Amino acid sequence: MVDTPKPEELIKNIDHTPPETPWEETVPDISPGNFCYPTKKKNLEYLSMPTTTVDEWSPADEEWPLPDNWQQIVHDGFKDLLGKYRSLKIFMDTCVRCGACADKCHFFIGTGDPKNMPVLRAELLRSVYRNDFTRVGKILKKIAGARPLTKEVIKEWFTYFYQCTECRRCSVYCPYGIDTAEVTMMARELLSLLGLNINWILEPAANCFRTGNHLGIQPHAFKEMIEFFCDDIEEITGKKIEPSFNRKGAEILFITPSGDAFADPGTYAMMGYIMLFEHIGLDYTLSTYASEGGNFGLFTSSEMMKRLNAKMYAEAKRLGVKWILGGECGHMWRVIHQYMDTMNGPVDFGEVPVNPITGTRFDNALSTRMVHITEFTADLIRHNKLKLDPGRNDMYKVTYHDSCNPARAMGLFDEPRHVLKAVCNQFYEMPENTIREQTFCCGSGSGLNTEEIMELRLRGGLPRANAVRYVHEKFGVNMLSCVCAIDRAALPPLMEYWVPEVDVCGVHELVGNALVMDGEIERTTNLRFEPLTDETEVEADV
Amino acid sequence: MNAAYLYSLIAVVALGLISYAGVAVAGLEGFFGIFIPYVALIVFVVGFASRIIDWGKTPVPFRIPTTSGQQKSLPWIKHDRFDSPYSTFGVIGRMALEILLFRSLFKNNRVGFSDGGGYQKIYYKWVVWLWLFAILFHYAFLVTVVRHLRFFTEPVPFFVEMLSTVDGIMQVGAPGMFLSGVVLLAMASLLLVRRIALPKLKYMSLAADYFPLLLIIGIAITGILMRHFVKVDVGAVKELTMGLATFRPSIPEGGISAVFYVHLFFVSILLAYIPFSKLMHMGGVFLSPTRNLPNNSRSVRHVNPWNYPVKTHTYEEYEDDFREKMKEAGLPVEKE
Ligand code: SF4
Ligand code: SF4
C-alpha cells in the first residue's frame, strides 16, 4: 500500500489548476494505488463473460492482455449501445462544454485531476465516438476533438471510469441533464467486452449469482448469522425472536443487502429491522436465495444487473408473498426503482402493497410491488403505531447522509428524515449544498469500496467528510446516519480519516434503539452494547 | 489548447474574407446571395430533421429521470412536482422551466477552499454568471431571429413589428439601435472571454466550442455595422430576401454592400453547421431521458423494447447446490 498523507496535508495540496499538457496528451498515472485490481478470470468464466487473454495481470503492466481484435470488439459494442440507448446518443451529441458540471464531482474536488471533471470524463468516450461515428470527426479528426481508439485510450477508460461512482451529482447541474453516471455505465460495459473488470465488483457478482448474496454466505450460514443477532436482541431487550426463512405463504418478503448481515454497523440496522417487524407482528419471511438486496451487476452491464435482480421476483413468486419490502441500500434502490420492473416485470405474483398495520396502500409501488423500509416505517410512525423513546439515542447527535442513488435516482428525502426526527432528539442537517439532491457521494460507490484505492476513496469522500466536519464542529454531531449498505462500509474509514469523532449508523439502528417493544426488559445498553446515557446527564447538557 | 481558438478564429476570418472578396472583387453576388443560402437551408433542414429522427428512433430502454426533489410516496409527504415529476403535467413543467429559464444552470455553484475554524473548509458559492450570460445570449438570439422575419414576410406580421418596436425602445442613434443585437454581441463575447479566461474551461474547450461563438460574434458585428456604419440599401436587401423566401431569387439592381453578403454568408455557415455540431443541443434538450421522464417507475411499468431473456441462477439450481446444508440447518426445501 502506498502511504496516505496526513489529512491536513492532503487537503492543502489539492490543486484545481489544470496542467500544462492538454488532456489528450496526458498519460494517466497507472501506478499501484491508482487502480482497482482486475478481476480474477474465474469470476468472468463463472458468469460466462468475455475474458482477458491471460489469467494474472496488472494494470501497471505495459502490455494489457487484450484479444487481437479488441478494437473491432469495442467499436461494434459501442455501435450496439448507440442503437439501444437514446441517453447515450444524446449525451454524446449535446454537451456544449459549458463547464457547469466541472467542479460538481467529488473526485474532481478531492483530486484536482481534470479528467475527473464529469465533462472530461465523458469526453474520454466522446472523443472516440466522434472519431468512429460522426462525419465531422472522421473528416476533421483532431480539430473536431476526435481521437482514434488506441490501447492508451483503453487504459485511460479503465482508470477514469473506475474513478466515477455513478453518483449522478453532475447530472443535476447540467442544462441538458447529461448524466456522466450513464456514460460511465456504458464505458464499463464496453470495457467488460474485453474482460476488463475489477475484482471488487465481479467477485460479489459471481458470489451473488451462485449463493444469492455478494458475500457468498451459504444458506445455513445466513440463517445462523441472523439467529446470532436475535441472541443479541434477546440479551438487550429480553425478547426472543425467531424470524422465518424461505417460508411459503408469508405476506411479505424482506430483502436487504447482505452487508447488513455481515459487518458492523450494518448488523445493527439488521437488528433494528428484526425488532421492528417482531414488534408490529409482521407476517414476513427472509430468503436465503434472494439474500442480497444489492446488485453489483449495475456496475458491470445491464445484462448482469438483470441476471442478478431476477431472483427477487422469482423468489417472491415461489414463496407466494403479496409484496416485497426492501431494506436500506443505495444502489439496490436505484435498480429497484428505475430498472427492476422494466427488466424482470411485469410481476406475476401478489398484489398492490398495503401496510397490514396501518392499511396504507403504497400506490407509488403499484406495479413494482416493492416498498422502501423508510417509506414503511415513516407510515407506521405517522399512524402512531410505534412506541418510541428517542431519549435512548441521546448519546448521539445525528446528521443524515443522503445516499446518491436514493437521492438522485428515486427522490427519497423526507421519509428517512421523518423517521430520524421521531427516533432521536438531536438531529442536525449538513449544509444545503451537500444534502438532498446536491448530496455528496461517500467516494466509494459503484463498486469502488476496495482497499487498494484507499487514498482515492478518501479524496473522493472529502466533500462529504468536510460537511460532516462542519456539523461536528458546529453542533457536536457524532453520528452520521444513512440508508445505504455501501455507505456503512465506506463511511467509517472515511470518518476515521477526516473526522474521527464521528461514527456511522443505519437509520434502523436508531429505530431499534428507540423502539419500546411490548414486554421488553428495561434496557441498559443500545444495540451496540454501549451503556445508555444517564438521563440527568443529558438534561444538564442541554 | 491555444490552437483550438486560433483555428476557429482563422476559420471565421477566412470565411469573412472569402465572402467579402467574392462579392467585392469577383462579383459573385449570385453565388453568395442565392446559391449558398439555399444550400445552407437544405443542409440545415435535412440535417436537423435526420438528427432528430435518429434520436427519436433510438429506444429509451429505462426510465431514468435524475430526481432533484422529493418523490411521490406517502400522501402526507409533499412531493416535488417539478423536480421529481410524477405525471406528464409535472414533466412538462420541468421541461418548460429547463428550456425557458435554464433552471439547472441557475443552480450552478463554485467550489473553493478556505481556512476557517482551525481546519480547511470547502465552500460552495452560488454563481450566477454562466446562467446570466447564457440566458441573455439565447433570448437575444431568439429576438434577433424573430426580428429578421421582417425580411422574409410581406406584410410583416404584427408580432414582428411589435417586437422590433420594443427591441428598439432605447432610441439610441438613428436608425435606432436594437437592444437584442447589442446584448447578443456582448453575451457572445463574454461567453468567449469566459472560455478563454477560466483555466478549467479553457482546458476542456475544443475548436468546436470557439467556432460557433466567433461566428455569431461575426454575424452580430456585420449586422450592427450594416445598421449603423455602412450604408446598406434596406429596400434592396428586402428585395433579395423576399426573392429567397418566395423561391423567385434575384440579385437586386444597383447592388448591396459586400458587408451584407458577409453577414448572409456567416448566417448560412451557421445554419449548415448546426446539424453537425453541439448546437444540436437545441433539439437534444427536449429529448434528454434524465429530464423528460416522470419519476413513477414503481407505479407505472416502463417497457424496454429490446428487453431479452437472460440466463439466471434459478432456485432449483440453488437448491441443488445447497440442499443437504439447507436440510441440516432446518431450512425448508422443495425436493427432499
Ligand atoms: S454541464 Fe452538461 S453541457 Fe455543460 S459541460 Fe457538463 S455535461 Fe457538458
Ligand atoms: S456521476 Fe458522480 S462520480 Fe461520476 S462524474 Fe458525475 S459527479 Fe463524478
Any residues with Cβ below 6 Å from ligand 1, and which? A 95-101, 118-119, 173-176, 178
Full 3-state SS string of A508-520: HHHHHHHECCCCC
The answer, yes or no, to whether residue B92 has pLDDT greater than 70, is yes
pLDDT over threshold 80, residue B245: yes
What is residue A144's predicted lDDT score, i.e. its pLDDT?
87
Q: List Cα–Cα distances, A407 to A121, A205, B166, B290, in angstroms.
A: 22, 24, 45, 14
For an interface test with A, the pick among B67, B84, B87 (most A C-beta atoms closer than 10 Å) comes out as B67
Please indicate whether residue A510 or residue A3 has the higher confidence score (pLDDT).
A510
Work out the pLDDT band at B1, boundaries 50, 70, 90.
very low
Cross-strand bridge partners of residue B3: none
Q: Is the pLDDT assigned to residue B328 strictly greater than 80?
A: yes
CA of A431 relative to ligand 2 center, distance in Å: 20
- Asked if B328's CB is within 8 angstroms of A144's CB, the reply is no
- Contact between residue B185 and residue B217 where contact means Cβ atoms under 8 Å apart: yes
Burial of B81 per CB tally in 10 Å (0-12, 13-18, 19+): middle
**Is the Cα torsion angle A262, A264, A269, A274 positive or negative in sign?**
positive
Q: What is the pLDDT of residues B281-323, one digit of tens each?
A: 999 999 999 999 999 999 999 999 999 999 999 999 999 999 9
pLDDT for B57 equals 97
Distance to chain A for B231, nearest Cα, Å: 37
> A165: CA distance to ligand 2 center in Å?
6
Please give the number of the atom of ligand 1 that sits closest to the Cα of A173.
Answer: 1
pLDDT value, residue B192: 97
Cα–ligand 2 centroid distance for B319 (angstroms): 40
Question: Identity (one letter) of the amino acid at A287?
Answer: S
Identify the nearest ligand to the CA of A175 by its number.
1
Please say if the pLDDT value at position A542 is more than 70. no
Residue of chain B with shortest Cα separation from A138: B276
A482 in Cβ contact with A506 (< 8 Å): yes
Q: Is the predicted pLDDT of residue B329 greater than 50, yes or no?
A: yes
Q: Is residue A423 within 8 Å of A388, Cβ to Cβ?
A: yes
Residue position matching grid coordinates 492482455: A65
Beta-carbon pairs below 8 A across chains A and B: 312
In chain A, the residue whose alpha carbon lies closest to the alpha carbon of B121 is A466
Residue from the list A98, A338, A469 with its beta carbon closest to the beta carbon of B119: A469
Which residue of A92, A94, A95 sits with most ligand 1 atoms within 8 Å of its CB, as the best mutation to test the pocket?
A95
Q: For atom 6 of ligand 2, which residue has the closest CA?
A: A170
The closest-lying atom of ligand 2 relative to the alpha carbon of residue A168 is 1
Q: Which residue of B has its CA nearest to A467?
A: B122
Nearest by CB to A303, from B208, B310, B330: name it: B310
Q: State the Cα–Cα distance between residues A10 and A7, nearest whole angstrom.
A: 5
Mean pLDDT of B217-228: 94
In DSSP terms, B120 is beta-bridged to B115
If you write DSSP's letter for every residue of A186-253 in order, what string do you get?
HHHHHHHTTT--BHHHHHHHHHHHHHSSTT---HHHHHHHHHHHHHHHHHHHS------BS-TT-SEE
CB A456 within 8 A of CB A29: no
B313/A220 CB distance under 8 A? no
- Convert the pLDDT of each residue in A279-325 to its tens digit: 999 999 999 999 999 999 999 999 999 999 999 999 999 999 999 99
What element of type H or E holds A110? helix A106-111
User: B202: which chain A residues are within 8 Å (Cβ-Cβ)?
Assistant: 18
Sequence ranges of chain A with CATH classification 1.10.1060: 7-30+50-196
Q: Which of the residue ranges A53-67, A237-251, A522-536, B85-99 would you say has the lowest mean pLDDT?
A: A522-536
Residue A383 is given by DSSP the state T
pLDDT at site A1: 47
Q: Is the pLDDT of residue B181 over 70?
A: yes
Candidate from A143, A341, A410 with C-beta closest to B67: A410
Higher local confidence (pLDDT), B191 or A215: B191
* Chain A, nearest residue to B287 by Cα: A90
Q: How far does B222 lie from chain A, in Å, by closest CA?
A: 25
CATH 1.20.1250 fits A7-30+50-196, yes or no: no
Task: Render pLDDT for B6-50 as a digit per residue (tens, 0 to 9).
Answer: 889 999 999 999 999 999 999 999 999 999 999 999 999 999 999
Report the pLDDT value the prediction gives residue B118, as an integer from 0 to 100. Answer: 82
| Phi, psi of B6, rounded to the nearest 5 degrees | -65, -50
Side-chain half-sphere exposure of A174, counting CA atoms within 13 A: 33
Q: Does residue A105's CB lie within 6 angstroms of at least one atom of ligand 2?
A: yes
* Mean predicted confidence (pLDDT) in A114-138: 96
- Confidence tier at A166 by pLDDT (50, 70, 90): very high
A412 contacts on B by Cβ (under 8 Å): 71, 73
**Do A285 and A356 touch, CB atoms closer than 8 A?**
no
Q: Is A537 a residue whose pLDDT tops 70?
A: no
- pLDDT band at residue B169, thresholds of 50, 70 and 90? confident
Q: Which three cell numbers stand for residue B260?
A: 451584407
**For the domain with range B3-328, which CATH number is right: 2.60.40.1180, 1.20.950.20, 1.10.10.350, 3.40.50.10490?**
1.20.950.20
The answer to whether the Cα torsion of B65, B66, B68, B73 is positive or negative is positive
Q: Report the complex ipTM.
A: 0.95
- Whether pLDDT at A538 is above 70: no
Residues with Cβ < 8 Å from A467, sequence gap 6 or more?
Answer: A430, A431, A434, A435, A440, B122
Q: Is the pLDDT of residue A536 over 90?
A: no
The three-state secondary structure class of A66 is coil
Domain ranges of chain B: 3-328
The predicted pLDDT at position A55 comes to 85
Chain A residue with the nearest C-alpha to that of B312: A307
Alpha-carbon distance B82 to B155, whole Å? 41
- Nearest by CB to residue B209, choosing from A86, A97, A362, is A97
Q: Do A224 and B315 touch (CB under 8 A)?
A: no
Pick B307's closest partner by Cβ from A95, A247, A343: A343
Task: With residue A423 as reference, give the H or E element that holds it.
Answer: helix A414-423
Minimal Cβ distance to B200: which of A18, A123, A171: A18
Mean pLDDT of B239-261: 93
Confidence tier at B254 by pLDDT (50, 70, 90): confident
Q: Closest chain A residue to B85 measured between Cα atoms?
A: A411
Distance A105 CA to ligand 1 centre (A): 12
Average pLDDT in chain A: 95
Give the model's confidence band at A2: pLDDT under 50 very low, under 70 low, under 90 confident, else very high.
low
Task: Choose from A189, A437, A469, A499 for mutation: most chain B CBs within 10 A.
Answer: A437
Q: How far apart are CA A247 and CA A277, in angstroms?
A: 15
Q: What is the pLDDT of residues A24-41, one digit of tens each?
A: 999 999 999 999 999 999
Residues in chain A with CB shorter than 8 Å from the CB of B78 are: 414
pLDDT tens profile A76-111: 999 999 999 999 999 999 999 999 999 999 999 999
Identify the nearest ligand to the CA of A185 by its number: 2
Atom 8 (ligand 2): residue with closest C-alpha?
A105
Half-sphere exposure of B232 (CA within 13 A, CB side): 24
The answer to whether residue A534 scores a pLDDT higher than 70 is no
Atom of ligand 2 nearest to the CA of A165: 3
Please determine, for residue B173, whether its predicted confidence score (pLDDT) is greater than 80.
no
For ligand 2, the distance from its centroid to the CA atom of residue A445, given in whole angstroms, is: 10
3-class DSSP state of A374: helix
Q: With an 8 Å Cβ cutoff, are A82 and B74 in contact? A: no
Q: Measured between beta carbons, which residues in chain A are less than 8 angstroms from residue B76? A: 382
